[in-house]
Chains A and B, each alone.
Chain A
Amino acid sequence: DQQVKQNSPSLSVQEGRISILNCDYTNSMFDYFLWYKKYPAEGPTFLISISSIKDKNEDGRFTVFLNKSAKHLSLHIVPSQPGDSAVYFCAASARGGSNYKLTFGKGTLLTVNP
């Protein structure tokens, strides 16, 4: 049972345009969400996170939106740059207790074309 889903395995965008990466989750206990970027042969790099008490968090070119009622979050990258080309993972965790782990989606390969 996949609790975090990234339904688009790949996305291709023109440089300078907006990239929108989507993520859906099924576990209503999730209340902290993170986006990671990963290049081949490297570990994931933390990008941005959002708590369930917010619906938007912004950091430079990266903005994450959370729609709790729809159990959906998205990462917007504006403007997209060729260096943004990587696999993007959405991850979620549940607050509280000692049962802490990140549940990852399968990733979306973003290609930004010059």
Chain B
Amino acid sequence: KAGVTQTPRYLIKTRGQQVTLSCSPISGHRSVSWYQQTPGQGLQFLFEYFSETQRNKGNFPGRFSGRQFSNSRSEMNVSTLELGDSALYLCASSQGQGAGNTIYFGEGSWLTVV
């Protein structure tokens, strides 16, 4: 069974640009969530989608957005990139929603903003 797949793995963008990251969850998983990892802040929750609806959102500015498609695949977008957006962006999926459902992570997308 394939794991959570994220693309691209590495990318470099310039300040002010926008970026779209893609995530394919484990087959059969309907919940997809996104996390940002930085050295200073650790792993922080961005948002979670279930059945194409955003169910929960973390404390990030509106420049960070996402969506989920009918096949459960998800994308996240960051507009007007800032240097501080450089981070590892992790997508995770789980079968259902709510505690008790183990979350499995992808390998992440490394974003560098220059």
Whether A94 contacts B99 by the Cβ 8 Å rule is: yes
With beta carbons under 8 angstroms apart, the residue of B43, B104, B107 that contacts A89 is B43
- B residues contacting A by CB (< 8 A) are 4, 6, 31, 33, 35, 42-45, 48, 50, 55-56, 58, 90, 92, 97-100, 102-108, 110
Q: Mark A1-42, 1 if CB is under 8 A from B, else 0.
A: 000000000000000000000000000000110101000011
Whether B97 contacts A95 by the Cβ 8 Å rule is: no
9 contacts between A and B (CB under 8 A): A32-B100, A44-B90, A89-B43, A96-B98, A98-B98, A99-B56, A100-B99, A101-B58, A103-B45
Whether A102 contacts B45 by the Cβ 8 Å rule is: yes
Whether A101 contacts B104 by the Cβ 8 Å rule is: no
The interface on chain A, measured as residues whose beta carbon lies within 8 A of the other chain's beta carbons, has a size of: 29
Whether B90 contacts A34 by the Cβ 8 Å rule is: no
Whether A43 contacts B99 by the Cβ 8 Å rule is: no
Interface centre among B92, B99, B102, B108 (most CB of A within 10 A): B99
- Complex Cα distance A99/B31, Å? 12
Given A98-B56, A101-B33, also A45-B42 (CB < 8 A): no
